[in-house]
Structure 1
Amino acid sequence: MQRNLLEVTGDEAKAEDGGALDALIEFYRAFNSGDLAPVQAVWAVGHEPSMDNPIGGIRRGWRTIAEGYSRIFEGRTNVQVTFHDFSSQGGDDWHLFVGRERGVCQTPERPMTVAFRTTRWFVRRDGAWLQLHHHGSVEDPKMLAAYQELILGDAGR
């Protein structure tokens, strides 16, 4: 069954049909809860996974990707995003989601609206959809600088 969602927050009911969209929903549920264990459950493990984003640059392998998520989850910053304006295409063992994220990055001192271009690539392994690659970028250089300051400035506190 193909569902056409306009956005994904992680609060959606999963179809439980074995589709990649359920894995995407689970990723956003885990990310927005700030919990590394369920984020890891929807990522491929080992040295294959990769990520490229404005905070961590290029990361290769689950261990370095997990370090990036930990920096966000364990810091003073809370990031909540919704995936929207996306396309979805795939085959039997791969699925690609390309779209945008919008949300809020908040510290105790201030909230900040964020907007990213986002690509998430999933592969099917042993019957489970796992994220193999994520690419995120920022269109607005001023927002990028402020976002990096909020997230990376957290590291020393």
Structure 2
Amino acid sequence: MAIKQAEDGVRAASDGFYDALTRMANGNAQPMSACWSHGDDVTTMHPIGGREVGWDEVEGSWRAVADVAEGGEVRPSDRLVRVFGDTAYELVTENASMSLGGERIDGAYRATNVYRFDDGEWRMVHHHTDLDTEFVEILQHLND
């Protein structure tokens, strides 16, 4: 696969992920499923802290946030994509705003996304975003 074609494929996968992330920020985590590889090797490190390993944990983390999220939008900016064979990474700034349990949160987060070319499509295998203590505190308060 030519590098330009691969980079375009990764950008399209990224667009799908950020569309799914916006939908999650509005209470619907279901679209995440199409963006991700579903293997035991997928991982996340969200702005809410912690680390999830394997599709079941990763999916559960998206659902947990979707359960309390509404009125949100996540827009990517300042993207950089690099492809190495069937693996790619993306450096991006996530510009996010949403309400979590009625409390508004806004921020710009540095993120790293890792993709793998699986069954003819680029799918996410890792998502890592800066930790946000305000985000963590809001979710802890909601769990009290």
RCO comparison, higher one (Cα < 8 Å, 6+): 2
Q: TM-score, normalised by structure 1?
A: 0.76
Distance 1:134 1:149 in 2: 21
Distance 1:154 1:70 in 2: 15
Structure with the bigger percentage of helix: 2
Q: TM-score, normalised by structure 2?
A: 0.82
Aligned partners of 1:83 and 1:99 also within 8 Å = yes
Once the two structures are superposed, residues 113-148 of structure 1 have per-residue CA deviations (whole angstroms, 9 ceiling, x without a partner) of 21211000100011011101111114xxxxx22211
**Which of residues 20, 24, 33 in structure 1 aligns to 2:14?**
24
* Alignment root-mean-square deviation, CA: 2.4
Distance 1:99 1:118 in 2: 5
Aligned residues: 138
- Partner of residue 81, structure 2: 88
- Partner of residue 126, structure 1: 119
Distance 1:56 1:78 in 2: 22
- Partner of residue 141, structure 2: 153
Aligned partners of 2:89 and 2:113 also within 8 Å = yes
Distance 2:100 2:57 in 1: 24
Q: Tell me, what secondary structure is at the counterpart of 1:27?
A: helix
**Structure 2 unmatched runs, 5+:** none
Q: Percent identity?
A: 21
Residues 1:52 and 2:45 aligned together: yes
Matched to 2:36, the amino acid is W
- Partner of residue 104, structure 1: 97
**Structure 1 unmatched runs, 5+:** 4-16, 139-143
Residues 1:62 and 2:55 aligned together: yes
